[in-house]
Amino acid sequence: MKVLELFGGIGACSAALKRLGFNLDIECVEIDRFAVQSFNAVHGTNFVPTDIRDWDKDIEVDLIMHGSPCQDFSVAGLNKGGDEGSGTRSSLMYETLRIVEKLRPKYVIWENVKNLLSAKHRHNFDAYQARMVELGYNDHYQVLNARDYGVPQNRERVFTISIRSDLPDTFVFPEKQPLTVRLSDILEQNVDKKYYLSEKALDCFLSDGTGNYPRRERFFSNIFRKNQNIGNSITTNAGSRPTDNFVVASRGRDPENSSRRTAGGTFKQRLEPRLDGVTNTLTTVQKDNLIAELRDCRIRKLTPRECWRLMGFSDEDFDKASKVCSNTQLYRQAGNSIVVNVLEAIFKNLLF
Ligand SMILES: C[S@@+](CC[C@H](N)C(=O)[O-])C[C@H]1O[C@@H](n2cnc3c(N)ncnc32)[C@H](O)[C@@H]1O
């Protein structure tokens, strides 16, 4: 199968297809040199960084995957939008349409943030779909959450599947699957001290912040969620914001020798009855006690390997990428990628 990964990142699409047993001939268009280094290491390819605006090959392709830049559609981003000709990174999805028109692959898969369906950005989503219909494709779209496809991460993304209209189209989105892997199952056993939050970082997360941003409560809820089986969405700088995932080990335990370092861990179990209604019922005094206790324990962010696992990549893939990229890049690449298991579930319904 000839696959063209536009905005290829680390190649979640190729990873999913390979896992399903496809023999792939891959073409990748990706501008970031570190992402390309990881892509090449993981997939055994030899691409060079390329700006999609300069890419104009005339090749035969079965499937185009594009997880086009989402910053300008994202709630977490600047919300600048992706109008054609606006010059924003998200407007680069119009480059995909140019390439689809030229190559006319059998299938086109587009992944992006759910906020693309919001009132502010919906016109770009509609414009994309209308253009795909003009180009002779049938579209299906749905918001899928990674937690429903075997990965303990709350990550909702909109997936658009376009099938060339001369092909049979019986596509339905995959059924949700029961989650059998917990966040704690993906955690590493021996974690370097550098992943633990410094006093300064803890101070920052515990401070009340200003205006409408309830920093402290958000941070609490990301350590001590009642259902700690599922983590929050992996971001491009995991552990830098109170809304990222954090793991707790109680004081007195050497974090490198602790046998019970689960998400929330022993400390969570000790505090859980008091934390059941953290946003409603905790009194100021209780909150202060909690802060005191939090200061008394070790809290760490996820490691890059854990982030890659939460994106559905194998340890083997991670090992290859970690030989050629720094942790900063590995976090970024995981946060930018697509959960492999979700694509795998889609491809099972689309290609078999
Ligand atoms: C959301 S990520 C896609 C990740 C990818 N689908 C994966 O499986 O990892 C968007 C990617 O688009 C790349 N990108 C941004 N501008 C680009 C451009 N002008 N040309 C090619 N790639 C670009 C970014 O470097 C980033 O890796």
CATH of the domain at 80: 3.40.50.150
Query: Is 70 labeled as catalytic in the residue annotation?
Result: yes
Shared-domain flag, residues 171 and 59: yes
277/215 Cα distance (integer angstroms): 17
109/338 Cα distance (integer angstroms): 12
Q: Is residue 202 part of a domain?
A: yes
Q: Is residue 124 part of a domain?
A: yes
CA of 32 to the centre of ligand 1 (A): 7
Minimum-distance ligand 1 atom for the alpha carbon of 337: 9
Shared-domain flag, residues 169 and 266: no
Shared-domain flag, residues 271 and 135: no
20/172 Cα distance (integer angstroms): 18
Shared-domain flag, residues 35 and 148: yes
SS3 206: helix
Q: Is residue 308 part of a domain?
A: no
Query: Could you tell me the CA-to-CA distances from 204 to 66, 209, 296 in Å, in that order?
Result: 37, 8, 16
Shared-domain flag, residues 255 and 170: no
Alpha carbon distance, N-terminus to C-terminus of the chain: 13
**Residue 251 domain boundaries:** 189-302
Shared-domain flag, residues 108 and 208: no
Q: Is residue 307 part of a domain?
A: no
CA of 130 to the centre of ligand 1 (A): 23
Whether the CB of 29 sits within 6 Å of ligand 1:
yes
Whether the CB of 51 sits within 6 Å of ligand 1:
yes
Q: How many helices (H) and strands (E) does the chain have?
A: 12, 8
One of 28, 70, 297, 325 is an active-site residue; which one?
70
CA of 283 to the centre of ligand 1 (A): 45
Shared-domain flag, residues 166 and 197: no
> Tens-digit pLDDT profile for the chain (352 aa)?
999 999 999 999 999 999 999 999 999 999 999 999 999 999 999 999 999 999 999 999 999 999 988 877 777 666 777 788 878 887 899 999 999 999 999 999 999 999 999 998 899 999 999 999 999 999 999 999 999 999 999 999 999 999 999 999 999 999 999 999 888 788 888 889 898 888 788 777 776 655 444 566 667 666 654 445 788 888 898 888 877 888 776 544 443 333 333 333 333 333 333 333 233 333 445 555 555 556 666 778 899 999 999 999 999 999 999 999 999 999 999 999 999 999 999 999 999 9
Whether the CB of 12 sits within 6 Å of ligand 1:
yes
Minimum-distance ligand 1 atom for the alpha carbon of 29: 21
CA of 173 to the centre of ligand 1 (A): 25
